[in-house]
Amino acid sequence: MSSSVTLADRLKNLDKAEEQVVLIAEETSNLVQILSQSANADNPNNGRKISTVSECNASLAKFSAAVKSFEELVSGELNYLQKYSASHPHESSVYLNAMKLDLAHEKLKVKNHQLKNLTDSNL
User: What does the domain layout of the chain look like in residue ranges?
Assistant: 1-88, 89-123
Q: How far is it, in rounded angstroms, from Cα 42 to Cα 92?
A: 62
pLDDT at 48 over 70: no
Q: How far is it, in rounded angstroms, from Cα 1 to Cα 65?
A: 21
**Helices 46-85 and 7-39, packing angle to 10 deg:** 160
Q: Using alpha carbons, select from 72, 37, 77 the residue that is nearest to residue 55.
A: 37
Q: What single DSSP character describes residue 88?
A: S
Task: Kindly report, residue by residue over 68-104, the tens digit of the pLDDT.
Answer: 999 999 998 888 887 776 666 665 667 777 888 889 9
| pLDDT, the chain, mean | 81
Q: What pLDDT is attached to residue 89?
A: 60
Q: How far is it, in rounded angstroms, from Cα 93 to Cα 63?
A: 39
